[in-house]
Amino acid sequence: MSGRFDLLVRGGACVLPSGTAVTDVGVRDGRVAAIGRLDGATADADIDAAGLHVLPGVIDSQVHMREPGLEHKEDFATGTTAAVLGGVTAVMEMPNTRPNTTTAAALADKARRAKGRARCDMAFFVGASGDNLEQLGDLERLPSCAGVKVFMGSSTGNLLVEDDVTLAQVLANGNRRVAVHCEDEPRLRARFALVEGGAPVAMHAEWRDAETARLATERLLRLARGVGRRVHVLHVTTAEEMGLLPEFRDLATVEVTPQHLTLAAPEAYETLGTRAQMNPPIRDARHRDALWRAVDEGLVDVIGSDHAPHTLAEKAESYPNSPSGMPGVQTLLPVMLNHVNAGRLSLRRLVDLTSAGPARVYGVAGKGRIARGYDADFSLVDLKAERTLSDRWSASRCGWTPFDGMRITGWPVATVVRGRVVMRDGEVLGDPAGAAIRFQDTLR
């Protein structure tokens, strides 16, 4: 097949919907125009992908870019630079900024801030609160909106939705899938005495225990069933939650994080201290093993990073005054490729969890697979490359990773967003040109 393309990706092992094949991909106007032997074709730009795997662009569907209001931790420029260095082509950003993203004006402000500064494509969640319940159905359909996010456990501002009456009202207003952080706030308050005034950081997993997560997830699933609303349970961490979720597959999809699949208590707290502190917590190996079983059994739909950076000075505060959260968008793909090389999951399963899965769960238009007519988003990886993750590699403004010093096999070597090569061999290329992610439910 011959012709003229804007970009040719030649000779890579492309992970296609039908299987993995060594082939060429031709791109025009930001979309995949041809797949096959393109020996006679020419292009404005060319990537020799021999020896590499070409994955559909990774979509990280849970990140906190901290803008506006918390830019000393991260912003759209630094956060999306970290994303493309890690092979991520699109991100969905959470609403617990200052101010919270709870109005049309706040959503539009984020989209304006990201334009000309984001290096990958973006969408933004609207946070549910007691003040915007009746507007949620309209807000979720605005351009660049990824959907509604609910915090059942402690968060910033007025985003906490802790009681069943309010949560039921949230679920009853709108139609798109709702993303939910499941921790039971009444139980958190009742157990805070365990750590109040100071405690070892390992007590984080005791204060915010497995029952705290199970109770909240059980309540959510019961209410979702009552109103018939689709939900996405974020960063599931416990064996008990994974026991509940199979009965709700018609309504509920499931996310886990690389951190919870990789780290375990007590070792993580002993070696990382408060760097290991996140919500829900890093738990012991019993729960980690249950997450892997859920991945193996097909119960998990998505792997998201829950990228939530804080400065090292903030993390150095004594527990429990130290903030919860850790960066992850840049390390999501390298850490999971290391699990692929260790035989923990197949490359095709990884693609389903990081590309096709997020697109399917949230109804992303034109992303998540390498197919004609789809956005030309590619994550090119060298499965044999050996690297050591380090704080020095981090492009996030926070400047650290919980995986500092971890030796891995598998590395992102190029990132392509809608046909533009935005990273190659560790170098960020071109001007920021990220655009709004489009969603099938909101296309006019």
The 10 Å CB-count burial string (b at 16+, else e) for 266-295 is eebbeebbbbbbbbbbbbeeebbebbbebb
d(CA 110, CA 301): 27
d(CA 368, CA 57): 7
Does the CA dihedral 359-141-158-152 come out positive or negative? negative
In which residue are the tokens 């706040």 written?
106
**Which among 207, 205, 212 has a CA at the least distance from the CA of 194?**
207
d(CA 107, CA 25): 35
> What totals of helices (H) and strands (E) does the chain contain, helices first?
15, 17
Pairing outcome for strands 378-388 and 53-56: antiparallel
Catalytic residues: 306
Q: Which residues are CB-neighbours of 238 under 8 A, at least 6 positions away?
A: 210, 213, 214, 280, 283, 287, 290
**Which among 188, 323, 204 has a CA at the least distance from the CA of 268?**
204
Please, which residues bridge with residue 436 across strands?
A: 122
Task: Give the burial class of 213: count Cβ atoms within 10 A of its Cβ; 0-12 exposed, 13-18 middle, 19 or more buried.
Answer: buried
Q: Which residues are CB-neighbours of 18 under 8 A, at least 6 positions away?
A: none
326 in Cβ contact with 257 (< 8 Å): no
Largest CA distance in the chain: 71
Q: For the chain, what is the radius of gyration of the CA atoms?
A: 21
Cis peptide leading into 334, omega within 30 of 0? no
**Strand arrangement of the beta sheet that strand 231-233 belongs to:** 58-63, 88-93, 121-127, 145-151, 178-181, 231-233, 252-256, 302-303
